[in-house]
A and B are shown apart, each in its own frame.
Chain A
Amino acid sequence: QVQLVQSGAEVKKPGSSLKVSCKVSGGSFSSYAISWVRQAPGQGLEWMGGILPILGTPNYAEKFQGRLTLTADKSTSTAYMELSSLRSEDTALYYCARQLGDGFDIWGQGTMVTVSS
């Protein structure tokens, strides 16, 4: 079955950059959009952006414009989320998720990111 496997937990300094990977196995990679969603401690779910690998064109939430870069490597079936200029408010659990129609049907296991000096 299709699985999304994310890279491991990260601890980052304020002002640095973060890159999280999401490898898709067991199914098609290019045909489905991959989105990134985060949940800060005690907060709700927040959609950050998404990318359709077959086109390679990302969509970003306005809040992250200029700081967020989403890419997809079709050769390795891996999506990447890069967030720059990290601040403490970026401390969160980050998920990738596959979009099937009007729903995110498969999710990665989550990557905990801590931003602290």
Chain B
Amino acid sequence: AIQLTQSPSSLSASVGDRLTITCRASQGISIALAWYQLKPGKAPKLLIYDATSLESGVPSRFSGSGSGTDFTLTISSLQPEDFATYYCQQFNSYPLTFGPGTKVDIK
């Protein structure tokens, strides 16, 4: 199975900060990667698919980059509603594994 690691595991940030979260795959997965936002009491929300494509309705401050084994999710200017936990997920092969998550909280 393909393993995904994320860094950092948690971070504290302020409104307006630029944020970058990294996801690394144990083997090459081309661009078969998605990013999700998870808030308590809510279902996960798809942010980015195919590593770089912004899901419809997601603010443009979110962006994704990378291919192969190294990927990043960037939030260009953190907003109050962005404090949440972020997960990457690979779609290259079964099982469709998730990363362990990155929790973003308020500094």
> Which residue numbers of A lie inside 8 Å of B, CB to CB?
35, 37, 39, 44-47, 49-50, 59-62, 95, 97, 99-105, 107-110
Chain B interface main SS type: loop
**Nearest A residue (CB) for B97:** A47
B62-99: CB near A (< 8 Å → 1, else 0) gives 00000000000000000000000101010100111111
Across chains A and B, the number of contacting residue pairs, with CB separation under 8 Å, is: 68
> Which residue numbers of B lie inside 8 Å of A, CB to CB?
1, 31-34, 36, 38, 43-46, 48-51, 55, 85, 87, 89, 91, 94-101
The residue that B98 contacts in the complex, of A47, A62, A105, A110, with Cβ under 8 A, is A47
Question: Please, how many angstroms separate the alpha-carbon atoms of A50 and B95 in the complex?
Answer: 9
* Shortest Cβ-Cβ A-B pairs, 3 listed: A103-B49, A107-B43, A102-B91
A45 touches B98 (CB 8 A): yes
Given A45-B89, A95-B43, 8 other A-B contacts at CB below 8 A? A62-B95, A95-B44, A102-B31, A102-B49, A104-B36, A104-B46, A107-B43, A108-B43
A45 touches B34 (CB 8 A): no
Residues on B with beta carbons closer than 8 Å to the beta carbon of A105: 46, 49, 55
